[in-house]
Amino acid sequence: MNASSPLLIDPLFLHSLLGNVRGRFAVDSIAECESTNTLLLERADDGAPAGSVLVAQRQTAGRGSRGRSWLASPDASLTFSVLWRFAGGIERLSGLSLAVGLAVAQALEACGATAVALKWPNDIVHANGKLGGILVELQNDADSALAVIGIGLNLSLAPNIAAGEGFALPPAALDRIVAFMPERHVLLAQLLTKLAEVFDRFANGGFAVLRDEWQARHAWQDRPVRVLRDGRLEMEGVCCGADSDGALILRTAAGIQRCLSGDVSLRPC
């Protein structure tokens, strides 16, 4: 371990914790970058293999969904990106962000967290607070689809985000919902292990084979919600969860409506 930077992930130590999936990931740990997703996309252009993982102690321009910045303190968060390739075009990757959310929830549960829930399409929540977020960026390769998946988790509530001002959901943190806080290498190993399992299942059957498990953790099932686009109401109704292709399903006055675009905001009524 690097004694001068105890928050840096040690790739060799992490590798020893990965068990059966250790050969499927190549982990790079750096002190700082603008955005792990941006840097990993650049590395993909230079031929980085599937399973490349980039973990940053600090991101100076981390990105969340819909172009928002991701605020994170190094000692209070875990932020990383994973590069994966899937056969076929990006049209086959509908629902991937939901599948990733399921993997994150399963990893947190394996570390002792309870009542972890999922909010369509890319939030990890607990008791209506945001525990983490997911940013999936896709590119078509010659014979496959490339996905760079950024994941950010609040391990504790840093002073600069504890108030939750300006957030759609108040922040939540892992240290508030586990009896014993996992060491960050152990946590990251669980996350990568569950991601590999979910990626394999998704590659074989799409989101449809994961839907029931996602639905079981759906935060806003049967709750009235509004769908906003650019701050304007697009539809409202009762949230019925996700369809087999990952689309949001609402029961509205006009009947069942579907929303596939993740470029919207989902709010409780």
Q: What is the DSSP string of 68-121?
A: -B----GGGEEEEEEEEEEES-GGGGTTHHHHHHHHHHHHHHHTT--S-EEETT
Residue 61 pLDDT exceeds 90 = no
Give the Cα separation of 242 and 212 in Å (integer).
9
135-99-218-128 Cα dihedral, nearest 10 degrees: -30
Mean pLDDT, the chain, integer = 89
Where in the chain are all domains bearing CATH 2.30.30.100?
224-268
CATH of the domain spanning 11-215: 3.30.930.10
Residue range 167-189: mean pLDDT, rounded: 92
What local confidence, expressed as pLDDT, does residue 64 receive?
A: 55
Predicted confidence (pLDDT) per residue in 179-201, tens digit: 999 999 999 999 999 999 999 99
Give the Cα separation of 6 and 176 in Å (integer).
22
Give the Cα separation of 261 and 269 in Å (integer).
20
Predicted confidence (pLDDT) per residue in 208-249, tens digit: 999 999 999 999 999 999 998 888 888 999 999 999 999 999
Confidence bin at 119 (pLDDT 50/70/90):
very high
Where in the chain are all domains bearing CATH 3.30.930.10?
11-215
Amino acid at position 79, single letter = T
Tokens of 226: 């509004």
* 224-268 classified as CATH 2.30.30.100: yes
Main-chain phi, psi angles of 245, to 5 degrees: -100, 5
Predicted confidence (pLDDT) per residue in 121-147, tens digit: 999 999 989 999 999 999 987 778 999
Residue range 8-14: mean pLDDT, rounded: 96
Confidence bin at 85 (pLDDT 50/70/90):
very high
